[in-house]
Structure 1
Amino acid sequence: MPYLLLAFGILFALLAANAQAPPRNAALLVPGFFSGWLTIELAPHLLVTEIVALALTALYGGLDGWAGWLGLVLGVMGAAGTVAIILASRRTVVTLRESGAPLDLDPDGAPRFPLAPLFVPPLCLIPRKGVKVQRNIVYREDGRLRLKLDVYSPTGERPDDELRPGLMQIHGGAWVIGDKREQGLSLLNHMAVQGWVGFNVNYRLSPRATWPEHLIDLKHFLAWYREHAREYGADPDFLCVTGGSAGGHLTAMVALTANVPEFQPGFEDVDTSVQGAVPFYGVYNFVDAGPWPVPMGSTRLLEKMVVKLPFEENREAYAKASPVTYLRKDAPPFFVIHGSHDSLIPVLEARRFVERLRDMSEAPVIYAEMKGGQHAFDVFPSYRTARVVEGVERYLTGLHRQYRQGTGPAVPGEVKESLDGPPVG
């Protein structure tokens, strides 16, 4: 029993250390991410498990030898690290780099997003009162190909039949896995409660799909939205786009490649512009290394499964798949979100993208960097998710108000007030 207590102590200490400083070694990257992701986003659940395991093992003879006492010390240190993670997530502050002030995602106290309980069931769909979900609507049909989406909309009547703003959600999964039922659910439910119509969109996945077929599918959705938005109470002339990881990359591509004929073959005349973009922890540059020892495009994933071309001989193809290639003065407003502890896509990737986008775009570019945030944090309905979701809602609602007023894009007033206020946290 003392050695079991020692094993628990070592495990809990390693989990806490990995959450704070995930390994960069290629062999440990994936296991380091998953353990850190679960530790950070399920910290309350982990803390209870640690306390129970240490207490029961000590009670049943775990302290009968030196190994048990050492395990207890290590276990307590690990539990203390978990407590620190919980406290950090409950005081989530998004640092807007180069602004000199944090963006407080909860300036008025308790968030409207209802995640007050400490122990929230992971991976739940978060059913919300007042939200209607219409599933598996076909938006593209071509032979045997049938691509589907889910629509999240308010159940109440629209005042004076007023059209609602639309939000496109693109799931992640390294371009090879993922589904509309798995990601973006917290945000879509919350946005529907606030009067938006959300569209959670599937697209073809690799290795069956070869780039840029993923993007072409999403452009087909934009064409479908122009034609069918009114049927769901949405404004066909106003649509914002969001997504995480590979979905973050695709979000940026959708926003920056409006009306590029190469990505909308057969429907080149359709307007594929969007009014705002909120990419979460995306990849924006396949050609230059920087955050990685080698360029992202030279990885086996992209060379063998997604783009399916040798990187060195086809750098131009990888440049065409990179959002940084399409930076332009008339880009839509961006709200880029990334976690400082992201171990799959280093935070430096977001920083360099934002810097280059700010240099080029005439629209405002807000960059939110969350202290302690891992990759794919928003899959779990945690405190951090609640506050970021509410911050995104305020941002997008501000963009929609500017659209209705006919004013040029600017940092929404809701966000400006937070920026101009005193530092938080």
Structure 2
Amino acid sequence: MPVGYLVTVLLFGACCLAALPRPRRISIKRYFLAVVINEIPHVAALLLLLSTALAWSQGDLAGPSGLILTSMAGIVLLGLAVLTRRGLHAAPTTDAVTREHGGIPRRDRVRRLLRPLLFPFPWRPRSVTRIGPLSYGEHKRQRLDVYRPKHPSAPGPVLVYFHGGGYFSGSNRREGRGLLHHLASRGWICISATYRLRPEAGFTDHLDDARAALRWAHEHAESYGGDPRLLVMAGSSAGAHLTSLCALTQDPAADPERPCVDAALCLYGYYGRYYGRDPDESPVSTPMSLDPGHAPPFFVVHGDHDSYAPVEDARALHRHLASRPENDAWYVELPGAQHGFDALSSWRTAATIDGIDAFLDRLGARGPTRTTR
């Protein structure tokens, strides 16, 4: 029995089993098993087919054991086909939400279909340059990178992005790269920031760092070709938690010194209370306990197979935001998507970027939503 081929089949099979059914509870192990194969199942299928062809050509699959292994590989290929179909369904899902909000879906078929198929790995285009790390505070974690067009033609709007990692890990050069590169290639000035982490830092430290980075963007973006009159905050996982809190606690009339944003992008976020805090906490650490009356436009995207941050929380946040009819709250629920789906340039990443493009295009048409900085 070919041991190497058996290991390949079992490994891909285990990853498929982790990715196919919807999770019933939070499972970090399941997340790590599923996240890669869930986004590039076609690559796994190609590798499995090549391994099978090699094993057959060398005579390793002759006899009853070979038939059993080949049958197992066929079952795994069917699972990979299901994962591929789910990934391709992200685009029509995002398009439907865009139309629901009066937007126009983008039709960049190369980026939407072919690039994830042929090269599903994030890379920075030559038209975009990265500057950093730059300091927005004295701590070693208070650092940020600026992504900008290499040859800007005019001042561009500003996006400030915060990474995930459960507030105890993470890097600003790991997540969100596809979004940052894409917007910078469109003329945006994108700032990707780190912040202090647990256990050294606590909830108010994270929130202070996020607001300090926003303040830095308001004060310094013009030096890098940005126009902070239109400033968007974005984040993934814990970064989305920070984003939702900052966006819902801005009230220029009550606190004109607090940095404000014109819109919020929340990707596969956690929206519950911070570690160990109770309903009597101060300040509030869950957006569900904050008044949505001062909410800027929100774009929330989450996977219905997220085994790290429950999709029910994202649905609850959307209901909370939409409880005010005047709020502009977009919610995209991607079928089959796991946590951290944008770590690769997958079909889901491309569809999400298309939806964000449409959301930001409408935001630009409306102009800034805040009355003061």
Q: TM-score range by the shorter chain?
A: 0.7 to 0.9
Q: Distance in 1 between matches of 2:283 and 2:49?
A: 50
Secondary structure of 2:171's aligned partner:
coil
The aligned counterpart of 2:118 is: 119
Deviates more, 1:169-178 or 1:87-96: 87-96
Letter in 1 for 2:90: T
Pick from 173, 176, 194: which aligns with 1:181? 173
Pick from 350, 358, 363: which aligns with 1:399? 363
Q: Is the 8 A contact 2:112 2:347 kept in 1?
A: no
Please list, as runs of the form range in 1=range in 2, the aligned pairs for 1:9-408 lying within 5 A after superposition.
Answer: 9-21=9-21, 23-24=23-24, 29-93=27-91, 95=93, 107-108=106-107, 110-111=109-110, 116=115, 118-120=117-119, 122=121, 124=122, 126-141=123-138, 147-159=142-154, 163-258=155-250, 269-286=256-273, 302-303=275-276, 311=277, 314-317=278-281, 320-360=284-324, 362-403=326-367
Q: Is the 8 A contact 1:5 1:62 kept in 2?
A: no
Letter in 1 for 2:17: A
Q: Distance in 2 between matches of 1:386 and 1:97?
A: 12
Q: Distance in 2 between matches of 1:318 and 1:52?
A: 57
1:209–1:391 distance in 2 versus 1, CA, 3 Å: same
Q: Distance in 2 between matches of 1:278 and 1:130?
A: 24
> RMSD of the alignment, in Å?
3.2
Q: Distance in 1 between matches of 2:120 and 2:98?
A: 36
Tell me by how many angstroms 1:11 deviates.
Answer: 4.0
Per-residue CA distance 1:272-297 (angstroms, 9 max, x = gap): 211001100111122xxxxxxxxxx5
Q: Distance in 2 between matches of 1:221 and 1:252?
A: 15
Q: Is the 8 A contact 2:164 2:236 kept in 1?
A: yes
Tell me by how many angstroms 1:205 deviates.
Answer: 1.0
TM-score by length of 1: 0.78
Gaps of 5+ in 2: none
Tell me by how many angstroms 1:256 deviates.
Answer: 0.9
Q: Is the 8 A contact 1:105 1:387 kept in 2?
A: no
Per-residue CA distance 1:122-146 (angstroms, 9 max, x = gap): 3x4x1213222211111123xx556
Q: Distance in 1 between matches of 2:181 and 2:113?
A: 11
Letter in 2 for 1:89: G
Letter in 1 for 2:115: A
Tell me by how many angstroms 1:168 deviates.
Answer: 0.7
1:387–1:243 distance in 2 versus 1, CA, 3 Å: same
Tell me by how many angstroms 1:109 deviates.
Answer: 5.3
Letter in 2 for 1:87: R
Secondary structure of 2:293's aligned partner:
coil
Tell me by how many angstroms 1:3 deviates.
Answer: 7.0
Tell me by how many angstroms 1:46 deviates.
Answer: 1.1
Q: Is the 8 A contact 1:230 1:236 kept in 2?
A: yes
Tell me by how many angstroms 1:33 deviates.
Answer: 0.9
Please list, as runs of the form range in 1=range in 2, the aligned pairs for 1:414-425 lying within 5 A after superposition.
Answer: none
Q: Distance in 1 between matches of 2:63 and 2:210?
A: 61
Secondary structure of 1:116's aligned partner:
helix
Secondary structure of 2:336's aligned partner:
coil
Aligned-pair identity in percent equals 30
Secondary structure of 1:212's aligned partner:
helix
1:2–1:158 distance in 2 versus 1, CA, 3 Å: closer
Letter in 1 for 2:175: Q
Letter in 2 for 1:285: G
Deviates more, 1:327-336 or 1:101-110: 101-110
Tell me by how many angstroms 1:41 deviates.
Answer: 1.3
Tell me by how many angstroms 1:37 deviates.
Answer: 0.6
Q: Is the 8 A contact 2:234 2:243 kept in 1?
A: yes
Tell me by how many angstroms 1:249 deviates.
Answer: 0.8
Tell me by how many angstroms 1:213 deviates.
Answer: 0.5
Q: Distance in 1 between matches of 2:44 and 2:367?
A: 45
Q: Is the 8 A contact 1:172 1:248 kept in 2?
A: yes
Greater RCO, 1 or 2 (C-alpha within 8 Å, sep 6+): 2
Gaps of 5+ in 1: 263-267, 287-296, 304-310, 409-425
| Residue-pair matches, total | 370
Q: Distance in 1 between matches of 2:214 and 2:64?
A: 65
